[in-house]
Amino acid sequence: MLAWAQPERECDLEQELVAVVEALQQSHENFTFSGTYLKESAAGREFISVAHSAGGEQGRLEYLNSPAESAIQAVWTPSGPRVSACELNSMYALYFQQGPMVAGRPTGLLELRPRDGLRLGYRLAVDTESGLVLRSEVISDDGSLLERHEYAAINVLPAEATSAAEQQDVTLDYLDIVGLPLGYRASRARRFEERALFMSDGIASATVVFEPLPEGLAPGEGAVRQGATISYSRGSVVAGNQVLITVIGEIPLPAARLIAEAVRVAPSGGSQ
Amino acid sequence: MSERDDVKKGAEQSVVARESLSALMDDEANDLDLARSLRGVDESDALRRYWARQQLYRSSMLGTSLPHGAIDVSASVREAIVSEKRAYANPLVSMAVAASVTVAVVLGGQQALLLESQPGNAITAPGEVVQIPGSGAVQASFAESSLPQARIIQTTPVTEGGPKDVYLNRTAYNRLANERFESLSRLHNSTATAASITPFVSRSTDPRTTP
């Protein structure tokens, strides 16, 4: 059924599962694609045109129905260190089966069901040939759909053989922060090292930003969710200073709370 | 006024109080309902029993029956409201207060369940509030159908330092969280590329939220 290469097995997961997780992560490096997808979230419905060259750091994206200047955006493609299916399996129950046709292409359906309340669930229709995600659904802990993307049309071309050979392994320097939710690791946010931290379990991710607490505001907390993304702001006293910590990302509220609590203690720095 | 008139007036007040209480449990209460319910519960054992019965009835309809008579949450609800009289002037804040009443009720239910040594399953209670194991009470934010709506998430107040106006504080923090959502979305979408698997088709920032 699948065109993906079969990697070595690392654990007791089915080989197809291991292969699809690998293929998904390599897809932006190995394939050039362009197409139009529909994004549905709390913000409404948007038709978005996207173009990406294999191995490119950035792709181009255009909100077709928006008159705003920012309707055309350069978007970063996934570029973090690889995570294996076995690593994911400790945080999510993984399921794989034959998927639906999406944009005229056959897919495999990869489901990631969180094993705890500290991450969201995902249902991904993955292109059988390229490993690109052609449809994604983000699901809350109670099974409700938070956000959905689905290609209406897409052209996919394999990259030149040399592109893949030039790939380099990516590493992150993880920070030693005690009290993070299980499976989450912290690093300094690339391109925003001085301002922000980045937290991820390999699939769920959040950015943490620090700033002085607005004058006159007592410690407290507030949160708003739009689609799959939560913004959680918390005023805290850290080392005698009043600080506003904002956690923004595709994570549940309990995880945002735990992250905000954990980062109140200054990270010791260094890699693990 | 005759004794008969007094009885009639008392009965009418009781009916009104029950209606207000129903509105409160349906999360449709206004300021007047709220005040009327709390005064009624304070003054009337019958109304308090009525509230408890309604809670049990609604809980059983939702499949999460509470132990009968295990807990009376009206005192904690009154405390939550009385300490926030100043907030009534602001309709948005009073909505938050009404929501907090529901949260207080749910927390009461949780205590009851703990007393009964029930397993830590998700608890649903009137007001569509769910308890995620290991977390505080959270507004059931995600019960949307196909197209979810943006919403402020009910959080329990953080208590650091001295006493403070928690509901006004929460409103301010919800507003801050919303502002940060708009100003930090692009930064997050950029930094999140460090996640090796990005389940989204592409990370983009809605033009309407771009600062």
DSSP line for A127-166: ETTT--EEEEEEE-TTS-EEEEEEEEEEEEEEPPHHHHHT
Mean model confidence pLDDT for chain A:
84
B114-170: pLDDT as tens digits: 323 333 232 222 223 233 333 333 333 333 334 444 566 666 555 554 445 556 688
Residue B129 with chain A: CB contacts under 8 Å:
none
For residue A169, give both structure tokens: 């392994």
| Helix residue spans in B62-136 (DSSP H) | 74-82, 91-115
Tell me, what's the pLDDT at B6?
63
Mutation target among A58, A61, A154, A224 for the B interface, most CBs of B within 10 A: A224
Q: How far is it, in rounded angstroms, from Cα A123 to Cα A20?
A: 13
Location of structure tokens 């040399």: A162
Tell me, what's the pLDDT at A255?
93
Location of structure tokens 């309709």: B91
Nearest CA in chain B to A219: B160
Rg of the Cα atoms in chain B: 21
Residue B197 with chain A: CB contacts under 8 Å:
21, 24-25, 78, 83, 88, 202-203
Residue B161 with chain A: CB contacts under 8 Å:
218-219, 237
Q: For A170-192, what is the mean pLDDT?
A: 79
Select the highest-mean-pLDDT range: A104-113, A183-192, A260-269, B187-196: A104-113
* Contact assignment for A222 to B135 by CB distance below 8 Å: no
Instruction: Kindly report the nearest CA distance between residue B195 and chain A, in angstroms.
Output: 5
Of chain A, the end-to-end C-alpha distance in Å amounts to 39
Residue A202 with chain B: CB contacts under 8 Å:
195-197
Quick check: B163 contacting A, CB < 8 Å?
no
* Contact assignment for A220 to B173 by CB distance below 8 Å: yes
Q: Which of B157, B184, B201 sits opposite A246 (nearest CB)?
A: B184
Residue with more model confidence, A201 or B101: A201
Query: Are A15-165 and A174-262 in the same CATH fold?
Result: no
The answer regarding whether domain A15-165 maps to CATH 2.50.20.10 reads yes
Residue A253 with chain B: CB contacts under 8 Å:
132, 135, 138, 153, 155
Domain locations in chain A? 15-165, 174-262
> Would you state the CATH architecture of domain A174-262?
2-Layer Sandwich (3.30)
Residues in Cβ contact with A218 at an 8 Å cutoff, skipping those fewer than 6 apart? A235, B161, B164, B165, B169
Domain locations in chain B? 7-142+150-155, 157-211
B64-122: pLDDT as tens digits: 444 443 334 444 444 444 443 333 333 333 333 333 433 333 333 333 333 233 332 32
Note whether B164 and B140 are within 8 A (CB).
no
Coil vs helix vs strand at A251:
coil
The ipTM assigned to this model is 0.82
A40-73: pLDDT as tens digits: 887 788 898 989 888 887 888 888 887 776 678 7
Lowest mean pLDDT among A151-155, A161-165, B52-56: A161-165
